[in-house]
Amino acid sequence: MKTFFVLLIWSQLLGCISASTKRGQNDALVAVHNIPKELSSENYTEREYFLINQNDTSGFSCILSENKISKYLSMRFEYSPDRKTATSFSLTDTSAVSEHKSIKKAYRELSYEEQHKELRSILNFISKDYKINRLKEIKMSMRSFKKLSLSITRKYLDQFGEKIDYKSNERLKKLIEESAFTADINKTLSFYSIVIDKISVLEFVYYSPQDDVIEEDIARGELGGKNRKHIIDGMIKFDVRALQFN
């Protein structure tokens, strides 16, 4: 009976997802999920976008927020290796919230290049319904793109050591500004006449990896040595602006 109940809840959740068939060469489509108002703000409309390739659901999501009054847009990148984000469940649906852990699924880990490809597909899809030049900011955890987190951690430790102090945020900000990731994001945004105007580090923490995937990266020397077992994580905000043409 419990199994049937979980499947029923899951089917109801899937029924709330509007999957639009913007198919590519790999038969992938962009799925759109309207985030329940209980998890958002009354002043904003939020949608979650992610890719489904045949029966393979991506763990990478782009959350789009639209201000109902100004119509300005903001985005948040999220990556979950073993489940979709909590935004897939309404707080009023207590059964779904309490049962969803039983139906977690391990998603295939995406490479850095695959994540950027998915992001380009999602932005292209969003541009059909929204004026992306109204985008004002993008937020993300550094670990949303693991290659970025590994690269910044290695460079920070090599240049400044493990000590965290009042100068760390500014140092991290500079490393992100000079990173290949920022150049790649700028290149992607340029198709919509948008450019990154400012980068901010909203918080700064050490993350102690527990999962095998991260441990393998350490073993391969991604952090510059097997003795380094911490990955720097923190929230990043990219302020963006539309390009002005004469």
The tens digit of pLDDT for each residue in 215-233 reads: 555 545 555 554 555 678 8
Domain boundary at 130, 150, 177, which? 130
Residue type, 21: T
Query: With contact defined as beta carbons under 8 Å apart, do 107 and 211 qualify?
Result: no
- How many domains are there within the chain? 2
Q: How far apart are CA 193 and CA 116, in angstroms?
A: 18
* Averaged pLDDT, 59-85: 87
| pLDDT confidence bin for 168, thresholds 50/70/90 | confident
What's the confidence (pLDDT) of residue 16? 44
195 and 222 housed in the same domain: yes
Q: Which residue has the higher pLDDT, 16 or 48?
A: 48
What's the confidence (pLDDT) of residue 178? 96
124 and 4 housed in the same domain: yes
Q: In the numeric block, which tokens belong to residue 159?
A: 């240049």
101 and 5 housed in the same domain: yes
Kindly report the number of other CB atoms within 10 A of residue 63's CB atom.
21
Ramachandran angles phi, psi of 151, nearest 5°: -65, -45
Domain boundary at 106, 130, 154, which? 130
Whether residue 50 lies inside any domain: the answer is: yes
Task: Report the DSSP pairing between strands 235-242 and 60-67.
Answer: unpaired
Q: Which residue has the higher pLDDT, 13 or 124?
A: 124
Q: What angle do the packed helices 146-160 and 168-177 form, to 10 degrees?
A: 130
Whether residue 135 lies inside any domain: the answer is: no
What's the confidence (pLDDT) of residue 207? 58
Residue 195 is part of which domain span? 141-246
* pLDDT over threshold 80, residue 119: yes
| pLDDT confidence bin for 146, thresholds 50/70/90 | confident
83 and 152 housed in the same domain: no
* Averaged pLDDT, 143-151: 89
What's the confidence (pLDDT) of residue 22? 47
* Averaged pLDDT, 239-245: 86
- Give long-range contacts, CB 8 A cutoff, 24+ apart: 18-22: 19/52, 20/125, 22/121, 22/124, 22/125
What's the confidence (pLDDT) of residue 245? 59
